[in-house]
């Protein structure tokens, strides 16, 4: 497949999609636009795009595929501007936002003009951002949800999947309503809970300062998603508020049941509460990518002496194994501490484990 692709938004997602398209469709021309001129210059320098766009308007009319890889509110405004242009008859317009109800309503103006709009949500991400973090393997084995508008036929959906075949993602066609419910349950709502746990700890810390010190371990890990962009999550909550209000009501009912179990001291039901949760959680796919980006952490028991971090990272650097984050927990003088190294893929984590094991006798573990 050949043609001109306009990518609006040259961040992690837009940049990674560009790389996947270029690999699978080398004869296509990739034109990129971003409000940040530095991101456009960097994308061109890295070979992510063939050339930058002077404006959306001057490039959109010649594009065969338009990818809007921006926050959802901005994507809505871009769709409105595209509707005022004379786009190609066979052009496909798609987005990458994490909510679909709002964007499908905005896209109705395109459908009214006969333009094919297919909402998209690649369920993949990284701890890094910007086009410099773009990777061809970002979407591999990840779910990619598509929400075609009512005027879009199957052949057009297949054309978009062909454009995105280099992602090696697993495509699922769902309605915008189904999408927002599914992502509400497995992504949006967990972010609310994580932020709520952090707020609860912050309030307790005012009276009991030990909370802050003790929360540095597992608590910090289970609430890690609370460190996500406040602006992005403000918008997501507002765009998916009906689903989240319903889920919050269900959650309140669940907590009332737990409160009742504690009040009545029902040992069997308390046990069953945790047992049923454990069974469902243990039955979840281990290697599949889901709605929330996975954290591929390697825990390394290291002795607490000067230079131990540079020693370990030096081994990884020599074998060109990239890490996304590194920290030490529970280190004290003369005893072993835990070095936590985060990787972008499970393959990198496995390479790192073998690498460190080859050079040291440090104990290592992986949390599943």
Over residues 12-34, the mean pLDDT reads 95
pLDDT of res. 332: 43
Do residue 137 and residue 239 come from a single domain? Answer: no
Do residue 121 and residue 160 come from a single domain? Answer: yes
Residue 334 pLDDT greater than 50, yes or no: no
Residue 185 pLDDT greater than 90, yes or no: yes
Do residue 73 and residue 214 come from a single domain? Answer: no
**CATH value at residue 165:** 3.40.50.720
In a domain, 288, yes or no: no
Final residue before a domain boundary, out of 129, 158, 174:
174
What's the rounded Cα separation, in Å, for the pair 20 and 115? 24
Q: How many CB atoms lie within 10 A of CB 333?
A: 7
pLDDT of res. 59: 94
pLDDT digits (tens, 9 = 90+) for 253-275: 999 999 999 999 999 999 999 99
Do residue 122 and residue 41 come from a single domain? Answer: yes
In a domain, 310, yes or no: yes
Q: How many CB atoms lie within 10 A of CB 221?
A: 13
pLDDT of res. 127: 61
Final residue before a domain boundary, out of 144, 174, 204:
174
Looking at 147-161, 231-245, 281-295, 336-350, which range is the least confident one? 281-295
Do residue 157 and residue 275 come from a single domain? Answer: no
**CATH value at residue 310:** 3.30.2130.10
Q: Which residue in 134, 117, 182 sits closest to 34, CA to CA?
A: 134
Residue 198 pLDDT greater than 90, yes or no: yes
What's the rounded Cα separation, in Å, for the pair 176 and 146? 9
In a domain, 290, yes or no: no
Question: Are 59 and 6 within 8 A, CB to CB?
Answer: yes
Assign 335 a pLDDT band (cuts: 50, 70, 90): very low
Regarding predicted confidence, which is higher, 367 or 156? 156
pLDDT of res. 323: 83
Output the CA torsion 161→1→78→123 (10° steps): 30
Output the CA torsion 163→165→166→168 (10° steps): 150
pTM of this structure: 0.81
Residue 221 pLDDT greater than 80, yes or no: no
Q: How many CA atoms lie within 13 A of 186 on its CB side?
A: 16
Residue 287 pLDDT greater than 70, yes or no: no
Residue 246 pLDDT greater than 50, yes or no: yes
Do residue 72 and residue 151 come from a single domain? Answer: yes
Residue 330 pLDDT greater than 60, yes or no: no
| Domain interval for residue 361 | 296-365
| C-alpha distance from residue 184 to each of 16, 89, 337 (Å) | 25, 35, 37
Regarding predicted confidence, which is higher, 262 or 288? 262
Do residue 36 and residue 131 come from a single domain? Answer: yes
Question: Are 319 and 351 within 8 A, CB to CB?
Answer: yes
Do residue 30 and residue 112 come from a single domain? Answer: yes
pLDDT of res. 331: 43
Do residue 18 and residue 152 come from a single domain? Answer: yes
Assign 345 a pLDDT band (cuts: 50, 70, 90): confident
In a domain, 93, yes or no: yes
In a domain, 44, yes or no: yes
In a domain, 291, yes or no: no
In a domain, 76, yes or no: yes
Looking at 82-91, 116-125, 146-155, 323-332, which range is the least confident one? 323-332
Do residue 359 and residue 211 come from a single domain? Answer: no
Q: Which residue in 121, 133, 134 sits closest to 19, CA to CA?
A: 134
How many separate domains does the chain show?
A: 3
What's the rounded Cα separation, in Å, for the pair 74 and 5? 19
Do residue 110 and residue 211 come from a single domain? Answer: no
Do residue 358 and residue 252 come from a single domain? Answer: no
pLDDT of res. 261: 95
Final residue before a domain boundary, out of 227, 257, 282:
282
Over residues 140-166, the mean pLDDT reads 93
Mean pLDDT, the chain, whole residue set? 89
pLDDT digits (tens, 9 = 90+) for 76-107: 999 999 999 999 999 999 999 999 999 999 99
In a domain, 289, yes or no: no
Over residues 289-298, the mean pLDDT reads 72
Over residues 142-170, the mean pLDDT reads 94
């Amino acid at each position: 497949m050949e043609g001109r692709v306009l990518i609006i938004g040259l961040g992690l997602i837009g940049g990674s999609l560009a790389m996947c398209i270029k690999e699978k469709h080398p004869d296509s021309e990739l034109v990129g636009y971003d409000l940040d001129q530095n991101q456009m210059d960097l994308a061109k320098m890295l070979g992510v795009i063939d050339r930058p766009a002077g404006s959306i308007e001057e490039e959109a009319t010649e594009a065969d595929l338009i990818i809007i890889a921006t926050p959802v509110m901005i994507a809505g405004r871009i769709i409105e501007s595209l509707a005022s242009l004379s786009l190609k008859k066979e052009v496909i317009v798609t987005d990458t936002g994490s909510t679909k109800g709002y964007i499908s309503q905005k896209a109705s103006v395109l459908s009214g003009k006969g333009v094919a709009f297919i909402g998209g949500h690649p369920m993949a991400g990284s701890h890094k951002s910007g086009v410099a973090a773009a990777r061809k393997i970002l979407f591999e084995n990840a779910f990619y949800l598509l929400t075609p508008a009512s005027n879009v036929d199957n052949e057009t959906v297949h054309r978009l999947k062909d454009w995105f075949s280099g992602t090696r993602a697993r495509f699922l066609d769902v309605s915008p309503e189904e999408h927002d419910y599914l992502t509400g349950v497995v992504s949006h709502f967990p972010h609310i809970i994580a932020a709520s746990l952090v707020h609860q700890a912050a309030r307790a810390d005012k009276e009991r300062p030990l909370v802050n010190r003790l929360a540095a371990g597992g608590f910090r890990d289970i609430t890690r998603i609370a460190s996500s962009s406040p602006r992005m999550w403000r918008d997501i909550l507002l765009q998916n508020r009906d689903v989240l209000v319903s889920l919050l009501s269900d959650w309140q009912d669940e907590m009332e049941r737990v409160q009742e179990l504690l009040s009545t001291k029902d040992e069997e039901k308390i046990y069953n509460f945790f047992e049923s949760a454990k069974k469902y959680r243990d039955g979840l796919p281990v290697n599949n990518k889901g709605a929330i980006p996975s954290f591929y952490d390697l825990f390394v028991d290291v002795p607490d002496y000067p230079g131990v971090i540079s020693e370990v990272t030096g081994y990884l650097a020599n074998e060109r194994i990239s890490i996304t984050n590194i920290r030490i927990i529970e280190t004290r003088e003369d005893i072993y501490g835990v070095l936590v190294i985060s990787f972008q893929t499970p393959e990198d984590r496995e390479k790192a484990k073998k690498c460190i094991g080859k050079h040291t006798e440090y104990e290592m573990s992986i949390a599943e």
